[in-house]
Chains A and B, each alone.
Chain A
Amino acid sequence: MAAKKENIRNFSIIAHIDHGKSTLADRLLEKTQSVAVRDMTEQLLDDMDLERERGITIKAHAVKLNYKAQDGEEYELNLIDTPGHVDFNYEVSRSLAACEGAVLIVDASQGIEAQTLANTYLALDHDLEIVPVINKIDLPAADPERVANEVEEVIGLECMNAPRVSAKTGENIEQVLEKIVSDIPAPLDSDDSKPLRALVFDSVYDNYKGVIVYVRVVDGKIKAGDTMRMMATGAEFTVVDVGYMRATSMESAKELTSGEVGYITASIKTVGDARVGDTVTTAEYPATEPLPGYRKVNPMVFCGVYPADGADYENLREALEKLQLNDAALSFEPETSGALGFGFRCGFLGLLHLEIIQERLEREYDLDLVTTIPSVVYRIHLTDGTVMEIDNPTNYPDPAYIDFCEEPITNANIYAPNEYVGAIMDLCQERRGVFKNMTYVTPDRVDIAYELPLNEIIYDFFDVLKSRTKGYASFDYEIKGYERSNLVKLDVLLNGDGVDALSFIIHSDKAYGRARKIAEKLKENIPRQMFEIPVQIAIGGKVIARETIKAMRKDVLAKCYGGDITRKKKLLEKQKEGKKRMRHFGTVEVPQEAFMAVLKLDE
């Protein structure tokens, strides 16, 4: 049953990672009795195992809460959860676009962090009413007054009356609900009589219903039996069901009307057909203009994903297809490597996205994988004027035909206590960063702005940053665009033969250091072979680093064990089996583990 428009509140919760977003969401569900206490598992909204383990929300979800406020009115609160990582910034922005307000959580001891600001600005971009909440007041180090001041000074939000809560203990949660009701506007400019325009802010594949499309209805209405049309793709489907999302179930409804948040199912086969940000209208009464802000998300980071056992190739394909059903941002296409056999070139939004997919493939589909070094998309301008976009070093053209190269650059912001400024600047310098600006957010916290090449941060930047700042720094980036760069392709040669899967593109300043490191790693990890094996790292034809794997000296069975020939035979057969598991590069045999160690080249 639909509430009066005046009594609808659509909101998101935004926060820096670990400031308690999911815990607060859980408390809100509990307070509004959307879930029985016995059904509460920690962080109910994050229902992927991985999310719960990593403590981050990967995909957005939404839930409708009913709340009887102190003014005696029944309110319909639609909580739209948002992913909390830079890789998913576009999805965050679509979730925010579905709301009129946002609850901003700030940790009472840590104060403002990188994503606090980034998400706040994102929310302000969407003209959202922001309700600040100071969380974790139960912590010994909590200093809500200081943090409230910080929020007022830095963001300019009135914060003196902001609820001070502990999502963990449940203290003052009621105040949050009251603030939502009093401060966040109702979707009053919605109009049921206009043609349907509903914003897709998430879509999830379900084995029984097909894709469940999560929408915010901006104008018009939709019901089962309507023919829905996706305005970006033109695809049409007959609506099977519409309704509201409850915490633990879906609640079918007669129709969804403007201002409301709900779901649509229409036997849609893949989430690629109902992309986040697209506008749903009806074929019967179509809107002319889609809602603003749609873009197809493009993968930024690519790597080869190969089954460790070639026999798993088809299983890997099936697993990727299944994951793609639910993840329109994941791309993949077959590729072959001389070294690794058959696999897929996969595209991801960022490194976290890559890791999540890799982990899900290994965990949920029980696959053993080898992944190649991640790459960004480079633009190579050839002397004949054509431009190539390259995400796989294998396709790197002959340098003789290259006029110049471009690589993606990001605007990155790092927030940290000022004592780490030196360490952070050193790191950014090492990563070819260009210093832009540094501002004191508070007397002892800084916001350092750098331009950083994307290929310098996709790999391990965040891990290194955290370790050099004892975990205090936070980090956020967005793509600025492409810039000219002096790139080279490094080739790895074992015994003179190139190993395609180990090639990668790198800035020429870094080539020598990296080449030496790779050569050392290979030497460490490849067992001695029958013959001496030169390990060479080359740019074009020029070798810039070299190591030698010594020839094996001894592999012999001294005794014949009183005529136990079978034992000896078995030993040799075992050796043969061992060889099968090796990757063969020309005459060189490299064990799987060694290969992984090289790809996971730590700094």
Chain B
Amino acid sequence: MKNIGLYIHVPFCKSKCPYCDFYSMRMCGGQADDYTACVLESLEHWADRLGRKADTLYFGGGTPSLLGGSNIALITRRAKALFGVDGEITVECNPSATEDDFFDTVAKAGVNRISLGMQSAVDSERRKLGRVADSKRVEECIKAARGVGISNITLDVMLGVPDQTAESLKKTIDFCLKNDVPHISAYMLKLEEGTYYYNNAEKLNLPDEDATADMYTFLGDILEENGYRNYEISNFAKPGFEGKHNLKYWNCEEYLGIGPSAHSFINGKRFFYPRDIDAFRLGCEPVPDGDGGGEEEYIMLRLRLAEGVVFDDFRARFGQSFSAKILEKAREFEKHGLVEISEESLSLTRKGFLLSNTIISSLIYG
């Protein structure tokens, strides 16, 4: 049986960023240890119940580093013991909420990848995003991580944020290149309902659709020139540094998510913990979310990858050839340089990535 991925959601933040709708809250005294205990208990429970091995572990949030180095280390060690995790172990860190000895503590426990929520290297842009640390602090974190032997570092960059221009984006890109991180995630800002950004969009001086699309293309071009591959819509990596845990999502592989709002896909079933930390602490069962792993879902997810849908893999997985009807529809997009069709695979181009919702939905649903 294939190994699964483990995801631990840490629903705490020092403060809520105005664009974010992930499940998180302010942390109160004692909550870090208490929550850690709940996660450990849940890990025990699931290890027993599933009897599966995992090869990736990912701490996401919220702000996982807020749990403190020793708690992360504790969970990491337990996960390794229970699930035999032996591969990529990532922790998302907010540069402003990471103690000095954090990297040392977690590295010793086995953490080997750090994701830094930088968003922008331009301080004025960062502040508007609710991020307090300056870019010097980001650099310090990178150095600290490297100092304890963690060289696999990924930086988050946001596109289409208030006041951003091609020039200011260039500064952010230069920052990434100067620090020579092997992986960059570049997300286009999406206004999520209920957030401050969503409710105040017209006041924000947001770059328009064209400008944001241009930024994405511009960033992709520069990163590719510098040896990064745009292996997924929003992700760029030097060879060998692709995010292994996240690849499980896009490959439609199995993962177990622990913590409120965390989603899982195991044995063909999707399920999730509700956005309710108390329910999680009380040991409530996750909520079923239907069957997963069908052909449409597989195509939808794989088309996010540069590799696209590989026809042999598709046949191996589903026991039948890739739909000729979808291919026929894809030809129309091919004419406009949005998809590439070869003997082996169907994939989106970078121009196609930008329109992936429309393309994927019309390929799958007509």
CA gap between A563 and B7 in the complex, in Å:
9
A-B contact pairs, 24 of them (CB 8 A): A530-B359, A550-B210, A553-B209, A553-B210, A554-B213, A555-B357, A556-B353, A556-B354, A556-B355, A556-B357, A557-B190, A558-B187, A559-B187, A559-B234, A561-B263, A562-B9, A563-B7, A563-B255, A565-B265, A565-B301, A566-B290, A568-B300, A575-B358, A579-B362
Q: Is there contact, CB below 8 Å, between B297 and A565?
A: yes
Complex alpha-carbon distance, A556 and B249, angstroms: 17
Considering the chains assembled together, what is the distance between the CA atoms of A561 and B354 in angstroms? 18
CB-contacts of B336-366 with A (<8 A): 336, 338, 353-362, 364-365
**How far is B351's CA from A531's CA once the two chains are assembled, in angstroms?**
12
B261 contact from A530, A560, A562, A565, Cβ within 8 A = A562
- A528 CB contacts on chain B under 8 angstroms: 209
Residue contact B263 to A565, C-beta cutoff 8 Å = yes
A window 500-533: CB within 8 A of B: 528, 530-531
Given A572-B357, A573-B365, is A562 in contact with B190 using a C-beta cutoff of 8 Å? no
| A569 proximal to B (CB < 8 A) | yes
Which residues of chain B have C-beta atoms less than 8 A from A542's C-beta?
none
- Chain A interface residue count, CB cutoff 8 Å, equals 27
Query: In the docked arrangement, what's the CA distance between A353 and B262, Å?
Result: 60
CB distance from B202 to the nearest CB of A (A): 18
Residues of A within 8 A of B220 (CB): none
Among B250, B264, B360, contact of A560 (Cβ-Cβ < 8 Å): B250
- Shortest beta-carbon distance from B261 to chain A in Å: 7
Q: Apart from A550-B210, A569-B300, what are 9 other A-B pairs with CB-CB below 8 Å?
A: A530-B358, A552-B209, A553-B209, A562-B263, A565-B249, A572-B300, A572-B360, A572-B365, A579-B361
Interface contacts (Cβ under 8 Å), in number, total: 105
A579 to B213, CA, bound (A): 23
CB-based closest 8 A-B pairs: A553-B213, A558-B187, A576-B365, A572-B361, A563-B263, A555-B357, A554-B213, A575-B361
Give B246's nearest chain A residue, CB to CB: A560
The tally of residues in B whose CB lies under 8 Å from a CB in A reads: 50
Residues in B with CB closer than 8 Å to A364 are: none
From B233, B255, B262, B292, contact of A556 by CB (8 A): B233
Closest Cβ of chain B to A39, distance in Å, is 52
Q: Is the interface of A mostly helix, strand, loop or mixed?
A: loop
CB-CB contacts below 8 Å: B41-95 with A: 60
Q: Could you say which residues of chain B place their CB within 8 Å of the CB of A561? A: 22, 263
Indicate whether A398 reaches chain B with its CB closer than 8 angstroms. Answer: no
CB pair B365 A563 closer than 8 Å: no
A571 within 8 A of B: yes
Chain A residues near B213: list those with CB within 8 A: 553-554
Chain B residues, CB < 8 A from A575: 357-358, 361
Complexed CA–CA distance, A591 and B216 (Å): 28
Q: In whole angstroms, what is the CA distance A80 to B190 when docked?
A: 65
Chain A residues closer than 8 Å to B7, beta-carbon distance: 562-563
Within the complex, the shortest CB–CB distance from A571 to chain B, in Å, comes to 7
Cβ of B197 under 8 Å from chain A: no
- Tell me how far the C-beta of B101 lies from the nearest C-beta in chain A, rounded to whole angstroms: 27
Q: In the assembly, what is the distance between CA of A558 and CA of B358, in Å?
A: 14
Interchain CA distance A564-B360 in the complex, whole Å: 17
Bound Cα distance A572, B355 (Å): 12
Bound Cα distance from A112 to B121, whole angstroms: 76
Task: Give the distance in Å from the alpha carbon of A571 to the alpha carbon of B358 in the complex.
Answer: 11
Shortest Cβ gap from A576 to chain B (Å): 4
Q: Which residues from B are CB-within-8-Å of A531? A: 336
Q: Nearest Cβ in chain A — how far from B348, in angstroms?
A: 10
Q: How far is the CB of A331 from chain B (nearest CB, A)?
A: 39
In the assembled complex, the Cα of A561 lies from the Cα of B336 at a distance in Å of 30
